[in-house]
Structure 1
Amino acid sequence: MYAQIFDPVAHSIAASAAFAALPLLTLFVLLGLLRLPARWAALASLAVSMAVAAFVYGMPGGQVLSGALEGAAIGFFPIIWIGINAIWLFKLTQESGHASVLRQALANVSADQRVQAVLIAFCFGALLEALAGGGAPVAICAVLLISLGVDPLKSATICLIADTSPVAFGALGLPITVLAKITRLPVHDISVMVGRQAPLLSLFIPLMLVFIHDGRRGLKEVWPLAVIAGVAFAFAQFAGSMMLPVELVDIVAALFCAGVSIIFLRVWSPAFLRGDLKAPDTAVAARGGYSIQPRAGMQGAVLAMPMTAGDPPFDRTRDKVSTAGGAAEPTTMRHSRADILRALAPYVAVIVVVAATQIGFIGHAMGALTSSFAWPGLHVVDPHGAAVSAVNAKFEWVLSAGSIVLIAGIFSVPILGLDARVATRTYLKNLHELRWAVFTVCCVVGVAYIMNLSGQIVTLGIWAAQAGAAFAPVSPILGWFATALTGSDTSANALFGMLQLTTAHHTGLSDILLAAANTSGGVVGKAISPQNLAVGAVAVGMMGREGVLFRRVASWTILMIAALSLLVWAQSTPLLGWMVP
């Protein structure tokens, strides 16, 4: 039996916290400063966490190893399991040729890559996060942006930043429902409070995406759409948190945001397409992107999708556009409504399967295939003698989000006109491509479990909680670190939810406020988590260069967490205290 101790170094929380922080420092220094691939940074962090647990905290070696194996197992299922199946789902559309149909359907809404970044990464990505979570939004949306000609590094950066504000209500509201179970606080109250924090980020994220893609010029030309999209999503998320079940908040917000944005684009287009401003530099994107051709008689430009060898033989109508100087006429393509519906079928299938799980007997049958057991070799209790929850493992084999996406993919195979052999070959190839991402995730979640089981996480939390009433702005930062470590806002709530509650009771702060702040802060950490970085790097062909992505997004997350910390502080004072339910 191992009894946790939170001040093993000279009975000092501060000294103990210095050692407890070593695994996190190792991870971020190796990844961000020394530019090591995420897999080696994660492995080194795992080794450091195990050494601290064994030699500083006195955790028996056998239990240290067992805890690392449990974390690795949880890292694979359910965390990276959803990313594997979501990416496979998209690869099925690529195999059938329907990925280009979806790409071109989105291009028909607007040929401007900056607009596409908002529609795909923010609107469509939010829907994917709402339905499944995991690495699906980053992987799928990054590939879509690349296919439209966006630079791979920009594509990954844009998608990592976009996959933040929807995370709080993502995966059918799982982060909030898990937090409610751990803290025994009302789900609705937590939902309402998160709905008064996370939408602040939603207001500005589309503007960030446009700036990342095209700098100040992009903001100057596309800010109206960015503002409309941000306000629409923020409003829907805010209102939905009060009126809808947590499972539906982000689904409704994403659909509402997409609808409002598309309607707005019917009456507005970026300045350079209208000819009001000078067009961007002429360029032809690699990977089947757009070429910018000057339109005769105007200063602007028209973007045209060139035919590529990989385009499937769908029915097309060609719109010829005259170009200055008698240059060759670019070609655009349009697909039938049936083709577009078929391209959307895999994502509709996810919604249908999710809806089916809400039907009593179906959900019960799927939930029956669940394994719950005490993890072998772990006998850990807290200082009061109560068993630590992490010693118990639970695997929802069919009802997990990843399995739901897998089922939707199986249903989609015949709809996309593929056979089982192609689908199986695609799945195995996908597993091979994601092998290092899987390894990275398993190592990082192993770090989280070792730190949780040994007591390192609680040590860091207690040290931070010594700030007393000033803890309020620190509260979301804990969620930020925990999600950066685990790659999951749900896991961050499992790690720090009870700590936030305990701190609230000792400092006189609102328990609802601090619990929600852990969730809201966690959404920011999603962008710099090694899991998301690894999935994003694989998706855009930058395996081993996760450190480059980390440096691209780290400054944005610092800006977002600073704004969120300021908001939580204000909500802990009479200034905005009226916002706390």
Structure 2
Amino acid sequence: MFSATFDPLGNIWLSAAVAAVPIILFLLSLTVLKMKGIHAALLTLAVTLVLSFFPFALPTNVALAAVVQGIVQGMWPIGYIIIMAVWLYKLTVDSGKFEVIKGSLAMVSPDQRIQLLLIAFCFGAFLEGAAGFGVPIAICGVMLAALGFNPLQAAMLCLIANAASGAFGAIGIPVAIIDTFHLEGVTAMDVSKATNTTLPFIAASTPFLLVWILDGFKGIKETLPALVVTSGVFTVCQMAVTYFIGPELADILPPLLSLIALAALSTQWQPKTVFRIKPEDQEETTRHSFGKILSAWAPFYILSAFVIVWSLPVFKALFKPDAIFSFTNLSWVLATQGDKKIGIDIGLINSTGTAILMAVIATILISGKSLGVAQALADLKKTAKELWLSIATISFILAIAKLTTYTGMTQALGEAVSVTGGVFPLLSPVLGWIGVFMTGSVVNNNTLFAPVQSIVAHHLHIDPALLVQANTAGGTMAKLVSPQSIAIATAAVGKSGQESTLLKMTLKYSVGLLLFVCIWTFILTLML
């Protein structure tokens, strides 16, 4: 904090009310005023900048430095990771590999319950980890519809499946972004480990929930081996990755391994009764050789390999001060106040985005004539054009978060909210749910509310990582019904205009999962 006090009005409730203005304004701009995200972020940034001068008396140079720091961090590493991830996905489509991937999934079983697990749960989680930002909902919804699922039902199932993976979308950015806030006593790795207290229950139960929605308890009974394998492999692997490696691969390795495990099981076992929504609708599946399938999946296991290397402590050590590659880390000091400073740090090589770039280059090289350099560069241009608005919005929201942190606004909110005492952990996930419902992004939600959760946790003598992960988990449950997700899902399956119908179909599952997260978080704070 760079302001003289977090209570400039001499009354914590009045100061907190002023500090809440940026959050309330942003949410109202999106909902009541129906503004685009970028416009809502710009308006909120302008108002937050004014409030940082009065009443919080933040020095002008510090305020401007905070804005610059937030914008730059939104572009690097976050924007860099997003663009690289979506670029890699587009390359698999244009090289023809994605069609083979889609066909390989359909080859595993004619039973649509198994196809649902493979596509909506396993492959959807993988796409969430590789690209995020609505890609798994759109792609998997289309795939299920093409395989004979009712379009709106396909969209709903993909939204619900996302509950298991939404916390770690786009190479773990929702959790990894925690490190950019420099919160007291909590890092992205702490939050990654803390997610093991809650999210494994969601991950383990989601496959069962999907099959139950499609075919009731009869479906669960008939596909129990597949459910146990899929749920078990995914959950155990995700727990191991988030605890020992971090958030980056939490939606890369687990879905890949669970997909492989389910495919292997299906070679030896199939449900006694083949379930089809329309029994007569048996689509002919294109058969692909093992070599062709292996080649089609190459971009993604290459990606996994590079991200694993980039996550290793021995690799990270190469970029520490005075280490061999420390010269690739760029830094600038933007403002100082006593022994405190605001700066920009850019790691050119050790960024996760560079690991994805290496996977992109390898994909281009192994694709041969099916994907030339010119096409790859055209895809990069198209990706940047499509995503610049989202990245700009994230950058401005980060700038808002920096201002609210350096002025003490976040601390004022935390001081006021902490008076709810032991009840707050019960409501903590609701704050995250509201954040994602309004912004459509777990990244934006954590940017807005993770600092508040951390400060309240310190006041209540609770591990701040526990409440930040509750904010993340609660927000993930809102991805099922956020206007952005609903719009993407209906558009993908050709049902634009039926957003309210899809929302009604999905809302009860979102609220039910949120209720579990709230109660369990409260229990955890009593136990730990």
Q: TM-score range by the shorter chain?
A: 0.7 to 0.9
Aligned partners of 1:221 and 1:108: how far apart in 2?
Answer: 24
Q: How does 1:423-442 map to 2 (within 5 A)?
A: 423-442=376-395
Is the CA contact 1:115–1:222 (under 8 Å) kept in the aligned structure 2? no
Secondary structure of 1:416's counterpart equals helix
Residues 348-373 of structure 1, C-alpha deviations (whole Å, 9 max, x = no match): 11122224433846972666422233
Q: What secondary structure does 2:517 align onto?
A: helix
Is 1:370 the counterpart of 2:329 in the alignment? yes
Measure the CA separation in 2 of the matches of 1:445 and 1:68. 8
Native 8 Å contact 1:473 1:566 kept in 2 = yes
Letter in 1 for 2:366: I
TM-score, length-scaled by structure 2: 0.77
The CA RMSD over aligned residues, in Å, is 4.4
After superposition, the C-alpha distances for 1:457-499 in whole angstroms (9 at most, x for unaligned) are 2222222222223333244455666776771687579735752
Q: Equivalent of 2:443, from 479, 483, 487?
A: 487
Cα pair 2:81 2:352 within 8 Å, conserved: yes
SS in 1 for 2:390: helix
* 1-structure distance, mates of 2:48, 2:393: 15
Q: CA deviation at 1:303?
A: 3.1
1:342 aligns with 2:295: yes
SS of the aligned residue for 2:197 comes to coil
Give the alignment of 1:163-562 within 5 angstroms. 163-166=162-165, 171=171, 175=176, 178=179, 183-184=184-185, 193-206=194-207, 216-219=213-216, 222-223=219-220, 224=223, 228=228, 229-238=230-239, 244-246=244-246, 253-263=254-264, 265=266, 267-269=269-271, 273-274=274-275, 280=277, 300-304=279-283, 331-357=284-310, 358=312, 360=314, 364=318, 368-374=327-333, 376=334, 378-379=335-336, 387=340, 391-417=342-368, 418-477=371-430, 487=443, 495-496=451-452, 499=455, 502-505=458-461, 509=462, 511=463, 514-526=464-476, 557-562=510-515
31-40 or 17-26, which deviates more: 31-40
Question: 1 CA distance for matches of 2:140 and 2:204?
Answer: 23
Distance in 2, Cα, partners of 1:546 & 1:394: 44
Q: Corresponding residue for 1:149? A: 145
Q: Which residue is 2:12 aligned to?
A: 13
Alpha-carbon deviations, 1:98-135, whole Å to 9, x = none?
111111111212456664453334323444566x6xx5
Cα pair distance change 1:51/1:558, threshold 3 Å: farther
Residue 263 of structure 2 aligns to a residue in which SS?
A: helix
Percentage of pairs with the same residue: 26
* Cα distance between partner residues in 1 of 2:499 and 2:408: 32
CA contact (8 A) 1:486 1:492 kept: no
- Displacement of 1:346 in angstroms is 0.9
For residues 561 and 7 of structure 1, do their structure 2 counterparts lie closer, same or farther at Cα, with a shift above 3 Å needed? Answer: farther
- In the alignment, the residues of structure 2 paired with residue 492 and residue 119 of structure 1 have an alpha-carbon distance, to the nearest angstrom, of 34
Question: How many Å apart are 1:218 and its aligned residue?
Answer: 4.8
Separation in structure 2 between the aligned mates of residue 410 and residue 187 of structure 1, nearest angstrom:
28
Cα distance change of structure 1 residues 566 and 366 upon mapping to structure 2, 3 Å threshold:
farther
Q: Secondary structure at the match of 2:255?
A: helix
The answer on whether the counterparts of 2:328 and 2:349 sit within 8 Å (CA) in structure 1 is: yes
Q: What residue number does 2:321 align with?
A: none
Q: 1:25 and 1:205, CA in 2 relative to 1: closer, same or farther beyond 3 A?
A: farther
Deviation of the 1:437 alpha carbon: 2.0
The 3-state SS of whatever aligns with 1:58 is: coil
Q: Structure 1 pair 261/118, CA: closer, same or farther in 2 (3 Å)?
A: same
| Paired residue secondary structure (2:288) | coil
Partner Cα distance (2:74, 2:155) in 1: 22
Cα deviation 1:475-531 (Å, max 9, x = unaligned):
4455666776771687579735752552243xxx4x3xx4223124314325658xx
Deviations 1:252-293 (A, max 9, x none): 54344334433555534496x44xxxx536xxxxxxxxxxxx
Structure 1 alignment gaps of length 5 or more: 282-299, 305-330
Larger radius of gyration: 1
Post-superposition offset of 1:88: 0.9
Displacement of 1:408 in angstroms is: 0.7
The alpha carbon displacement at 1:57 in A equals 2.5
Count of residues in Structure 1 that have an aligned counterpart in Structure 2: 500
- What TM-score do the two structures reach when normalised by structure 1? 0.71
SS in 1 for 2:285: coil
